Amino acid sequence: ACKPKNNLCAITEMAECCSGFCLIYRCS
């Protein structure tokens, strides 16, 4: 699931479920 995050997330991490939301979300 995607969770709010203030920091940048790793491209490899966000690409799986948070594509396009790397600035505010991360996969967890």
Domain boundaries, the chain: 1-27
Query: Which pLDDT value is given to residue 14?
Result: 53
Question: Which residue do the tokens 């991360």 mark?
Answer: 26
**pLDDT tens-digit profile of 1-28?**
556 555 555 555 555 555 555 555 555 5
Q: pTM for the complete prediction? A: 0.16
**pLDDT for residue 19:** 55
Phi-psi region of 4 (alpha: psi -120 to 50; beta: other; left: phi over 0): beta
DSSP letters of 6-25? SS---HHHHTTT-TT-TTTE
CB atoms within 10 A of CB 3: 11
Predicted confidence at residue 5, as pLDDT, reads: 57
